[in-house]
């Protein structure tokens, strides 16, 4: 048996995508919160003087990449819930005892979770256009897609790694929410991290989402705090680490 079976990865990816597309309530729910943040914060603080905000960038423009990153974080991290749901209905046991490698299972779940997170992010980006958002350079959209993929893989890998340590969805849900919101507020999604106290900035620099949102701002609105190469390099490292961690911890999940 090979280490990775492409057909198994594809089957698990297809299952996750179909489950997502056949659940309109899940799609609506996944974009509702980022849109509410975007509408209320974007218009509510449109005339406010926000420290660290570039002078030539409107707050709505600044906020949209942050909300796209937030939707990726929220959707991707909760991909781990599907693993626990499969455990409860017995599907996880069936695939664990199947003649396929654990690595293939993890890659299939990461591929499926990343795809659904990408759909959510693209929806947020499209729905922000009627609100007044404008792309600085549409030719850089492929780079934005690459950044979104790296963000998704990073946090889906995180979700898989975390879910492998739980046996119930309630406990997982509480812990993942406790992790998500600090990551969100420390990412610079709604305000520049330069305005934070220095000790808090250190935590922000260790946050993978910080580089994801900064990279999105670089390609979507033409301004960023760090060079684009730094953002891409950090995301590449964190996505690789999280996939490795998810695979390592999932290998130890009991099939019974």
pLDDT tens digit sequence for 122-151: 999 998 888 888 888 888 899 999 999 999
Contact criterion met (CB below 8 Å) for 68 and 216? yes
- What confidence tier does 3 reach under pLDDT thresholds 50, 70, 90? low
pLDDT at 88: 73
pLDDT tens digit sequence for 198-251: 888 899 999 999 999 999 999 999 888 899 999 999 999 999 999 898 888 887
For the cut 50, the answer to whether the pLDDT of residue 82 exceeds it is yes
- What confidence tier does 159 reach under pLDDT thresholds 50, 70, 90? confident
CB-neighbour burial class of residue 43 (10 A; exposed 0-12, middle 13-18, buried 19+): middle
pLDDT at 220: 92
Which range is least confidently modeled, 4-8, 148-152, 170-174? 170-174
For the cut 60, the answer to whether the pLDDT of residue 2 exceeds it is no
For the cut 60, the answer to whether the pLDDT of residue 38 exceeds it is yes
For the cut 80, the answer to whether the pLDDT of residue 22 exceeds it is yes
**Stretch 15-37: mean pLDDT:** 83
pLDDT at 217: 93
pLDDT at 240: 94
Residue found by looking up tokens 């937030």 in the block: 70
pLDDT at 208: 93
């Amino acid at each position: 048996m090979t280490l990775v079976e492409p057909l198994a990865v594809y089957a698990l990816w297809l299952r996750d995508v179909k489950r997502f597309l056949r659940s309109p309530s899940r799609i609506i729910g996944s974009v509702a919160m980022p849109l509410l943040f975007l509408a209320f914060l974007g218009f509510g603080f449109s005339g406010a003087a926000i420290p660290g905000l570039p002078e030539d960038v409107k707050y709505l423009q600044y906020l949209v990449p942050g909300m796209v990153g937030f939707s990726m974080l929220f959707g991707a991290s909760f991909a781990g819930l599907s693993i626990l749901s499969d455990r409860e209905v017995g599907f996880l046991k069936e695939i664990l005892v199947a003649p396929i490698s654990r690595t293939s299972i993890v890659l299939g779940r990461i591929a499926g979770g990343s795809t659904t997170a990408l759909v959510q992010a693209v929806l947020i980006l499209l729905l922000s256009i009627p609100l007044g958002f404008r792309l600085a350079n549409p030719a850089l959209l492929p780079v934005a897609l690459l950044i979104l993929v790296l963000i998704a893989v990073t946090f889906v890998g995180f979700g898989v790694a975390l879910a492998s340590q739980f046996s119930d969805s309630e406990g997982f849900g509480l812990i993942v929410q406790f992790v998500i919101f600090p990551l969100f507020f420390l990412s610079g999604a709604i305000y520049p991290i330069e305005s934070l106290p220095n000790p808090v900035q250190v935590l922000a620099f260790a946050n993978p989402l910080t580089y994801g949102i900064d990279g999105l701002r670089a390609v979507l609105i033409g301004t960023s705090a760090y060079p684009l190469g730094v953002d891409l390099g950090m995301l590449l490292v964190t996505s690789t680490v999280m996939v490795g961690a998810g695979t390592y911890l999932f290998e130890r999940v009991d099939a019974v």
